[in-house]
Each structure stands twice: as structure tokens, then as C-alpha cells.
Amino acid sequence: MNELVNFFIEPYKTATTLNIILEFVAATFGVISVIFAKRENILVYPTGIISTGIYVYLLSQWNLYGDLIINIYYTLMSVFGWYMWSKIIDDKKNHIPISRTNINDKFKAIGIFVFTSVFVIFVYRHYNVMPNHLGFSESLNFAYTNLTSGSIEDFKTAVPFLDTFTTGIFFAAMWLMALKKIENWTLWIIGNIVSIPLYFVKGYGFTAIQYFIFLILAIQAYKLWKKSLNNNQQTA
């Protein structure tokens, strides 16, 4: 138990008081934002912008390029989502409803995932964050071997590969959320499951706990949005 506690607090021993406070504030507003998203409340976006704006600063200090890119994108997509959710779509002053993705949406989401992942890989290999001497199959084998070895140190060497995956997942999820597509929650659930151990290993305990809360909220949100979608279809 003591080892777990020490593992959790060790990174904060050298962190500045300002950064600790900022991480706590960013995590708190992140949770508040997801709660608003779950309730289909447009305040998801202003609260989310506060969270991601703070994280952009913190991640630049921590040299976590993939996460930095995610949060810059989140901030920009929050502005887009804010516009989409507030947009009037008919004479009855209705806003865009919750809906399912069509084939076109699915292809776009996959395209966003692939493009984002490739871009992050390029950035990581350029800055030697990820081994740049390995081919595609060798990289997959390297990641799998180190992720499943049972060693925290080995796991840390494979963090950039998981970082790449979550970046692609979250980019696609944020775009689908802006369009109120229910599948956005499926992607958030997958990304959150991966992010929980990822951030603990990185040494950012507050953020890891935040993603655990995100996971619970995302599961609840999916159920609520599905219920709302079914009700809308019955009354249509």
C-alpha cells in the first residue's frame, strides 16, 4: 500500500505548487465538463475550454506532445461544438438532436483517427520520443512486448504507442460529440480505459483519477443518450 501511495505522490515532490494547483483545477473542470456533456448541456464547452486551456500550458511544461496536441484540438473543437450545439436548425428553434452515425460519419471518424495517429507517430519519431529505427511490424512487436512484460519500466517505454492510440481515439470522439453522435461515448470509454494506467505510469495521479471518473461518466452518458435517442425516435 505504501508503495502505491509513494508511486502516486512521488512526481509531485518536485512539482511546483502552481502546477499542482493548476492540474487539480484542470481535472476538476474536466469532470464538470463531462457531467454537462452527459446531460446534453451546452455548458460542456465553456467548462471544457477552461480545462483544456490549462492542460495546454501544463503539457507544454511536461513535454507530452501527443497530449498537448489533443488539448489544443479539444479547445478548437470546443468552439466548433459550442457553435453546433447552439445552432437553430428549424423554425421551431430546435437544436441538433442526438443521432447515430451514418456510413459517411463512420468513414470520417476512421479518417480522423488514422490521420491523427500517423501525424503523432511522425512527431514522436522526429523527436526520438518513439524508436525511429523500427519498421511498422517491429514497432508493433516492440509495443506489445513492453506493454505485456509486467514491468513498469518496460511499460513506460511503450507509452508513446498508447499515446498515439488515445490521441486518434479522442480526436474522433470529440468530432462526433460536436455533431451529437451517440457513438462518441463508445470512443470516450475506450480511450478512458487506456488512459487510466497511462497517466498513472506517467506520474500524473490527479489526471489518472480524472480519467477514471471520465470512464464512469462516459458509461452513464451513453445510457442516458441512448434513452434520449430512443425516446426521440418513438415521438418522431
For the chain, 236 residues long, the average pLDDT of each consecutive 10-residue run is 65 82 90 93 95 91 75 91 88 84 97 92 82 81 86 84 90 95 97 90 79 94 94 71
Is residue 113 within 8 A of residue 168, CB to CB? The reply is yes
pLDDT score, position 54: 94
pLDDT in tens, 23-74: 889 989 999 999 999 999 999 999 999 999 999 998 888 777 767 877 898 8
- pLDDT attached to residue 180: 95
Q: Where are the domains of the chain?
A: 2-235
State the Cα–Cα distance between residues 236 and 228, nearest whole angstrom: 12
**CB-CB contact of 229 with 99 (8 Å):** yes
d(CA 108, CA 116): 12
